[in-house]
Every structure is written in C-alpha cells, then in structure tokens.
C-alpha cells in the first residue's frame, strides 16, 4: 500500500506561478519564429490588427491557431498522463507508452485512407475508437500490473505505428494531407480543428476534475479505497473515459506526440506533492508549457522548423530513462 504524500508549500502559489509561465510561453509562441516580431506588434495584432500588414497576418493566421492547438493538446496530454499513472500506479504510464496514442493515430489514418475522412470532426470518432480498442487490449494483456502494462503498451505501439505508416505511404493524397500531423506538429491545422474538437477536450477535463479527489483514495490501494466507501471500478471507468477523450483529442489536434504525458505528472508531483486535487490542475498548465515551448524551440533551431513532437520527445527521453532506471518517484 502506498502512502499519500502531503502537499508541500503553497500549491495555490505554485499554480499562479505556473499560470504566469504559461502566459509567457504563449507570448513567446506568438512573437518568435522564423520571422521575429516584437511583443508590442504582437499585442497590436491581437487587439487592433491592421489589414494587409504582414506581421499581423502571420500572427493571426498562423501563430494564433498553432499556439491555441499547443495549449489544448498539451493540457490534454498532461491530464491524460496524470490519470494514466494514477489509475495504474505506474510511473511509466502515459497515453503514448500505453498504446493509446498509437491506437488513436491508426484510427485517424484509417479514416483518411479507407474512408476519405480528413475533417477533424469526422476523424475524432475514429481516434476515440482506436484509442479505446488499444486501451482494452493493453489492459487485458497487462492485467493491471505496472510492468506488464508498460510492456503491453510498448508492444501494441510497436505493432500499430508501422501499420499506420504503411497505410499512409500507400495513399499519397492522405499522406500529403497528414504529413505534418503524422510526426506530431502544431503546424498544418487551423482554427476549424479547434472549433470542432474543443467540446471533446472539455468532457475529458471535466471528468479529470471530477475524479481527482477519488484518485487520492485509489493511491492508498484498492482495499483501502473500497473501505472508505469509494467505488474503485467507477473511478477507473470514469478515468478511462477521460483518458480516451483526452488522448484522442490531442492526437486529432497535433498528431502522435510522445512523452509529454510522462514528463508532466512527474514535474507536477515534485512541485505540489501527490494530492491529485492539485496535481490535476497543475498538469493542465504544465502540459501546454512543455508543448508550446517545444514548438518555439523547434522554430528557432532550424530555419525550416523542427516539429514539436520531435523536440518534446528529446525533452522527455531523459526523464523516461531516469524513471526506468528506478529512481524514486514521489507518490508512486
């Protein structure tokens, strides 16, 4: 049975500080890139745009949509990672390592190649179905055990990712439409994707907030949680629905971005302890910071841009190695 670590310091102050960092990341995302734009001009582009001014058109037409997508997808991945680690009590769990991202990706690829469905609203249902099937398979193989779940998720991902790539490479039209999305990028999507998908993200966020206090009981063990009057099965089912909604939405928005859901919960627990009433909202802020920052770094390190999914993986890989080598992770 695990011990619930008390929240250190003042978590409300941490949330405010991280919120300020998120605002700073958003400002940098709007101002920085291949074409640098002063923060003053960035502000005027948002509140008082001038028709025909190139800088204003770049910000409103390109950078605002990709920044909003980064914020939404980052929040979804951070929350999905926190829920995955909580219900499995596995520090290696996240939607990518559990195979959910691969399942959602395969669903979207099948929608594009087999049915010609490329719109976000149409593809999201295929993403949900793929993520749900992958989750059922992984949990059936892993039997809820941490190590087995990680191995099952890695196996499912290893099987599904090549299938997705093969289908894309055989359909050049679909590949051209999804080439940015396939590597995990915030570019190549517009405001229509956000308008179509935000309700599904909202469902996942609401469910995550609803189960947050229940996850504290689950961390003490199933028997203790049941003795406290909590329905363990209901908590896991609601969390599972939330994870599918969040992972499916993030994948439909930004593609199969890996390791964000792994890194963010570890950082959140180090900042506010293991009380999920604080961990959950903090992950919703840290996820966007990581993904938006990765996108900004990718714009600056290469003239023709390095995709956010690649940069996020480079950031998350050392954390995965550290956790896999058995370093102590608070609360898990």
Say how many C-beta atoms besides its own lie within 10 A of residue 15's C-beta: 17
Residue 139, burial from CB neighbour count under 10 angstroms (0-12, 13-18, 19+): buried
Please say if the pLDDT value at position 326 is more than 70: no
| Ordered domains of the chain (ranges, CATH) | 11-324 (1.10.3470.10)
Read off the tokens for 265: 């919960």
Report the share of the chain in percent with pLDDT over 70. 93
Q: Return the pLDDT at 105.
A: 94
Please say if the pLDDT value at position 8 is more than 60: no
Give the confidence band of 107 by pLDDT, cuts at 50, 70, 90: very high
Please say if the pLDDT value at position 2 is more than 80: no
The Cα 331–Cα 3 span in angstroms is: 7
Please say if the pLDDT value at position 98 is more than 50: yes
Q: CA gyration radius for the chain?
A: 20
Give the confidence band of 27 by pLDDT, cuts at 50, 70, 90: very high
Read off the tokens for 96: 């990518």
């Amino acid at each position: 049975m695990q011990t619930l670590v008390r929240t250190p310091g003042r978590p409300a102050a941490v949330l405010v500080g991280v919120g300020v960092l998120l605002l700073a990341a958003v400002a940098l995302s709007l101002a920085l890139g291949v074409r640098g734009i002063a923060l003053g001009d960035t502000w005027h582009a948002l509140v008082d745009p001038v028709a025909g001014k190139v800088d204003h058109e770049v910000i409103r037409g390109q950078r605002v949509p990709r920044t909003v997508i980064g914020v939404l997808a980052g929040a979804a991945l951070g929350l999905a990672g926190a829920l995955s680690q909580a219900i499995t009590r596995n520090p290696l769990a996240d939607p990518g390592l559990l195979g959910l991202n691969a399942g959602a990706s395969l669903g979207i690829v099948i929608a594009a190649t087999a049915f010609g469905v490329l719109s976000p609203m149409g593809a999201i249902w295929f993403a949900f179905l793929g993520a749900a099937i992958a989750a059922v398979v992984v949990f059936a193989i892993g039997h809820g055990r941490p190590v087995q779940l990680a191995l099952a998720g890695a196996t499912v991902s290893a099987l599904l990712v090549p299938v997705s790539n093969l289908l894309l490479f055989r359909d050049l039209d679909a590949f051209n439409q999804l080439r940015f999305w396939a590597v995990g990028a915030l570019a190549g999507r517009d405001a229509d994707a956000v308008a179509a998908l935000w309700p599904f993200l909202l469902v996942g966020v609401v469910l995550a907030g609803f189960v947050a206090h229940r996850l504290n009981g689950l961390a003490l063990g199933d028997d203790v949680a049941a003795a406290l009057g909590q329905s363990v099965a209901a908590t896991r089912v609601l969390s599972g629905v939330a994870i599918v909604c969040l992972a499916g939405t993030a994948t439909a928005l930004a593609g199969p971005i890996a390791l964000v859901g792994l890194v963010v919960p570890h950082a959140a627990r180090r900042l506010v302890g293991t009380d999920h009433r604080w961990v959950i909202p903090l992950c919703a802020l840290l996820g966007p910071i990581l993904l938006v920052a990765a996108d900004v770094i990718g714009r600056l390190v290469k003239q023709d841009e390095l995709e956010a999914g690649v940069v996020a993986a480079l950031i998350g890989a050392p954390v995965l190695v550290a956790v896999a080598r058995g370093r102590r992770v608070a609360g898990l």
